[in-house]
Amino acid sequence: MNNVIAGFSKFSKEEKINWIAKEYFLNPQEAITTLKNYWNSDENLQKLHDEFIENTISNFYIPLGVAPNFLINGKYYTVPMAIEESSVVAAASKAAKFWSTRGGFKASVIDTEKIGQVHFIFKGDHSKLADFFNQIKSKFFIETENITKNMQKRGGGILDIILKDKTHLIPNYFQLHATFETIDSMGANFINSCLEQFAKILKEEAQVHESFSETEKDIQVVMSILSNYVPNCIVRAEVSCPINELEEKHISDPTAFAERFVQAVTIAEVEPFRAVTHNKGIMNGIDAVVLATGNDFRAIEAGIHAYASRNGHYSSLSHAKIENNIFTFWLEVPLALGTVGGLTSLHPLVKLSLDMLEKPSAKELMQIVAVAGLAQNFAALRSLTTTGIQDGHMKMHLNNILNQFMATEEERVLIRKHFKHHVVSHSAVVDYIENIRK
């Protein structure tokens, strides 16, 4: 491609696909066929998906699986998980079944506070700005009532607004730091609408404030935006049992297992290189449920990883201990989730997933998601401290390798039989396929 294309967004979907196929592919028709193979045969459903984003050309499918047997606060759930990585759903299911006979998972929401900020520049007397803010603070609440009234009816709204002096970081930099309760909605549009109104009020009131000089009246709003870092929107998930109850097929010495497990978690608490992979395993579970329920996994990821660094270095999100012969494993994570609004009322599979979870509130979904992360982490650490991570993962990955080499059913039978007793690796599977095809 040599030229910038003008007016691409105005092309029809067919025109976009034809242009892409012609510009980028040696076999344009093959590219067109591939893209159209993933269109939904239901035209109305395809139109719905087309309108989720811009310049849509097809659908990119990710498997939707389920992990049954999750006992959370005395109630059983079958948890939907949208993810493409082998062994994640199997690991979550195995951990869920393991803990279902040992008291299940306990989960609790510690707080649900969400945050938004108006970032602005004020060149003047700091004390005069503080007095000005205190004088007009009530207007931020009064003049946003048209935005907040429906949220207030549901028990939410603006919790508080404070002025933050950040001039030690950037000259003349201040914030309006606002906290919100959005009940069962994710609340992004609600929060951003409130913040933009705050910014308007701030600028207008400054213009007529008698104590300000002309320079001080010229408040420069840089931006008004919610924060995806929500350190006061926290959920805790936990499992515990007497050490002797940890015994199972791969855990013949439960005391030694519990001690190794705690050591593994402790390493992730102090070693960032391990902590990143450790927390990635937690996010395998969290992201899969967040995606299946129509929430924003990018926002969740950003907020959780910031939380993992809150003490000055990146550390494990989960923790483990042994006290009085009781093994306890837990995590606390920030999760700003919603069960109304956004994709939750539009995407058919999101609605199905939420129905499968029996229409949870946002708080209940926070608990389910945190538990999925803890279950995934437990499964990974159990493998790492017993059989090793590759044993189970590569056996699950075997299907991907077989599909890559388009193995026949007869070949699959032979290959699976062989690798019941041999280590699965990509090269070993490829070698075996080549041997049986000779």
Instruction: Write out the E strands in 33-134.
Output: 64-72, 75-82, 106-109, 114-121
Question: What is the distance between the terminal CA atoms of the chain, rounded to a whole angstrom?
Answer: 43
Q: Which two tokens stand for residue 14?
A: 């067919």
| CA separation for the pair 76, 45 (Å, rounded) | 32
Q: Which two tokens stand for residue 262?
A: 């705690």
Radius of gyration of the chain (CA): 27
List residues bridging with 403 in a β-sheet. Answer: none
How many CA atoms within 13 Å lie on the side-chain side of 171? 2
Give the H/E segment covering residue 336: none
Q: Which active-site residues does the annotation give? A: 85, 280, 296, 393
**Chain centre distance of CA 9:** 30
Q: Which residues contact 87 (CB under 8 A, 6 or more apart)?
A: 392, 393, 396, 397
Give the H/E segment covering residue 244: none
The CB density around residue 323, as the number of other CB atoms within 10 Å, is: 8
| CA separation for the pair 147, 144 (Å, rounded) | 5
Coil vs helix vs strand at 2: coil
